Homo-oligomer: A and B are copies of this chain.
């Protein structure tokens, strides 16, 4: 029993944490409950139920499967479902008429062939990336509705009335979802994408701002001092950027279905976010390579190190600041003027570093020991270039 209590407490804590991390999840759950309760009213009021009959269950079914977290996803599914049902219903009734021409015996065979062919073709079409991304759910519903209408037409006599009842309940379900999702604390996929792209940049910026310091603390201690990287959240944050492609793409996909909201118009250039996201990831890959050097041993001669440290720290922190500036420019949708200064600064630092390295050679320092440092420098230069590219496309 004690064990059980401990488990309950653990689960309760998890629930609380999830709710605090993103209170929208909790609100979303309430919205789903509300939508379901609303459509179930059809059952409870006699006049409504008399109108729809058993088809009322399609409204419930629609709400459960269509209601998604973001407005874009709900709209995408709702519209897909509505149009696919309409199209498949019309085709299904058509198939029924064609099949009924061939008499009592031939009808099931013809219907079977129709269903087989359409299901095969539609399933195959789902493998095309373009269709998969936008209309996957619609094609699924198309297969479903066509099969149901075509097959049950063999047994149900009032096929037209059935199709009509079903379509109207599905529309009721979809509209309920869409109205509730937009009117109560809407979660916009577009806004999420906007914030995600800016947040990812900030994560990289956090890393770069801290990196200079971290790296040289170790260098000053001589070497071999293994700083536990995992303790510093700033140095770990960028990892999530590496795998952000999937979520960015799905958000951009849903954002396209959304009407204008807040500062975003209907045809907001969502693709531009994907481009910026790709560049940010590119930069994150460089940082990933750079991160491996934090714990590497460096034994650079004293005189060389001072200058080297100066330019490296400057490059790192200036590109960090530039990225922060760009992120906030994205957030506020303004022209990134301060960021451009920082990009210039980091470029200057990169040039300084080149000079330092040149000078180091003349002093005849041990090349082998400069190499990790040089690699770090070289990667930082790449990051500066990357930042510059991002700045251009914002």
Interface residues of A (CB under 8 A from B): 14-15, 18, 22, 25-26, 28-30, 32-34, 36-37, 40, 43-44, 49, 54, 56-57, 60-61, 64-65, 108, 111-112, 115-117, 119-121, 123-124, 127-128, 140, 143-144, 147-148, 151-152, 154-155, 242-243, 245-246, 281-282, 285-286, 288-289, 292, 354, 357-358, 360-361, 364, 366-368, 370-372, 374-375, 377-379, 382
Q: Are A119 and B361 touching (Cβ within 8 A)?
A: no
Q: Are B367 and A33 touching (Cβ within 8 A)?
A: no
Q: Are B30 and A120 touching (Cβ within 8 A)?
A: yes
Residues of B near A57 (CB, < 8 A) are 148, 151-152
A119 in complex: contacting residue of B22, B26, B33, B374, CB < 8 Å: B33
Contact flag A64-B147 (CB < 8 Å), given A120-B33, A243-B246: yes
* Residue in A124, A140, A243 whose Cβ sees the most chain B Cβ within 10 Å: A124
A366 in complex: contacting residue of B143, B286, B361, CB < 8 Å: B361
Residues of B near A151 (CB, < 8 A) are 40, 43, 57, 60
Residues of B near A128 (CB, < 8 A) are 14, 18
- Compute how far the CA of A186 lies from the CA of B242 in the bound complex, rounded to whole angstroms: 33
Residues of B near A282 (CB, < 8 A) are 288
In the complex, how many angstroms separate the beta carbon of A213 from the nearest chain B beta carbon? 22
In the complex, how many angstroms separate the beta carbon of A298 from the nearest chain B beta carbon? 12
- Compute how far the CA of A28 lies from the CA of B119 in the bound complex, rounded to whole angstroms: 11
Residue of B at shortest CB range from A286? B289
- Compute how far the CA of A366 lies from the CA of B379 in the bound complex, rounded to whole angstroms: 20
A29 in complex: contacting residue of B108, B124, B144, B155, CB < 8 Å: B124
Q: Are B37 and A112 touching (Cβ within 8 A)?
A: yes
- Compute how far the CA of A28 lies from the CA of B121 in the bound complex, rounded to whole angstroms: 11
Residues of B near A108 (CB, < 8 A) are 43-44
- Compute how far the CA of A33 lies from the CA of B284 in the bound complex, rounded to whole angstroms: 45
Residues of B near A121 (CB, < 8 A) are 29
Q: Are A33 and B116 touching (Cβ within 8 A)?
A: yes
21 A–B contacts from the bound complex (CB under 8 Å): A14-B128, A18-B128, A25-B127, A29-B119, A30-B120, A33-B117, A37-B116, A37-B119, A40-B115, A43-B151, A43-B152, A56-B152, A57-B148, A57-B152, A60-B147, A285-B285, A285-B288, A286-B289, A289-B289, A357-B368, A361-B368
